[in-house]
Each structure stands twice: as structure tokens, then as C-alpha cells.
């Protein structure tokens, strides 16, 4: 088992948000059953409504974030209240937005390898 330096991880651009996601822990780093992603969020960045087929845990150590969970809005202020986490059941529609005035990042843990992102498209 090796220590993973986050800024040395493989990065991909999400097709849902067009934002970078670093894959910290994956099968290629020795994981057999889980993944850990880190995603930076600049002020105003939005991860549009989406879901996964597995549950997800998201952690914010800093920042002010708006989260919409199945249509219900929540605000996280990790700068004021400390590190905060959310447990998202599988298939829960969620959207995340940095509403603060400084960059932050989130850690996303999945109890599965290669979790997929399913965008939720609004009907026109």
C-alpha cells in the first residue's frame, strides 16, 4: 500500500460538468472495491444534477457550498461549521455549487470501482 499524493493522481474532465476530477484511489492504485475522487471547485462552479448507481459520500473541509438533493436545497459552510460530509444514497439526484468567494475542493468516496456519472437532463 502506497501513500497517494493527490496532485499526482490521474485527472479526467467530467462530461457532466466539464470540470476536472482527480481519481485518487482506483483499481490501478490497488483498490479492489472502492474509489476516492477529489474535485476542485472555483467560486461559481457547478456540478449539474446527476446521480450514480452506488451510494456516495462527499466531504468538504473548506468553503461555502449549495447542494440540491432530490430538489431540496441545503447549504454547507465548512469555513464556519468545520469539515462537513453528506451521504448520498444510490440514484439520488444531486447538484453541487460553490457559492463562496474562494476555491474549495470536495472528496467523493464510492464503495465501488469505476462509478459512473449519469447526468439528469431537464425536459424542454
Give pLDDT, residue 121.
78
Give pLDDT, residue 2.
78
Q: In which element (H, E) is residue 46 found?
A: strand 46-51
Give pLDDT, residue 55.
98
Check if the beta carbon of residue 100 is closer than 8 Å to that of residue 43.
yes
Residue 101 has φ and ψ, to the nearest 5°, of: -105, 15
Give pLDDT, residue 39.
97
For residue 33, tell me if it sits in a domain: yes
Q: If we measure between CA atoms, which residue out of 96, 51, 92 comes closest to residue 78?
A: 96
CATH (domain of 70): 2.60.120.10
For residue 64, tell me if it sits in a domain: yes
Residue 54 has φ and ψ, to the nearest 5°, of: -125, 160
Single pTM value for the model? 0.93
What string of pLDDT tens digits covers the 124 residues of the chain?
679 999 999 999 999 999 999 999 999 999 999 999 999 999 999 999 999 999 999 999 999 999 999 999 999 999 999 999 999 999 999 999 999 999 999 999 999 999 999 999 765 4
Cα dihedral 48, 116, 94, 34 in deg (nearest 10)? -130
Other Cβ atoms less than 10 A from the Cβ of 22: the count is 19
For residue 47, tell me if it sits in a domain: yes
Give pLDDT, residue 122.
63
For residue 66, tell me if it sits in a domain: yes
Other Cβ atoms less than 10 A from the Cβ of 95: the count is 17
Tally of structural domains, the chain: 1
For residue 89, tell me if it sits in a domain: yes
For residue 37, tell me if it sits in a domain: yes
Containing structural domain, residue 25: 10-119
Other Cβ atoms less than 10 A from the Cβ of 62: the count is 17
Amino acid at each position: 500500500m502506497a501513500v497517494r499524493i493527490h496532485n499526482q493522481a490521474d485527472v479526467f474532465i467530467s462530461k457532466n460538468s466539464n470540470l476536472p476530477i482527480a481519481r485518487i484511489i482506483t483499481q490501478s492504485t490497488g483498490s479492489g472495491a472502492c474509489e476516492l475522487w477529489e474535485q476542485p471547485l472555483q467560486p461559481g462552479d457547478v456540478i449539474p444534477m446527476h446521480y450514480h448507481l452506488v451510494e456516495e459520500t462527499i466531504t468538504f473541509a473548506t468553503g461555502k457550498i449549495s447542494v440540491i438533493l432530490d430538489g431540496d436545497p441545503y447549504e454547507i459552510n465548512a469555513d464556519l461549521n468545520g469539515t462537513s460530509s453528506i451521504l448520498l444514497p444510490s440514484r439520488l439526484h444531486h447538484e453541487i455549487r460553490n457559492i463562496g468567494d474562494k476555491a474549495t475542493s470536495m472528496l467523493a468516496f464510492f464503495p465501488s470501482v469505476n462509478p459512473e456519472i449519469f447526468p439528469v437532463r431537464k425536459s424542454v
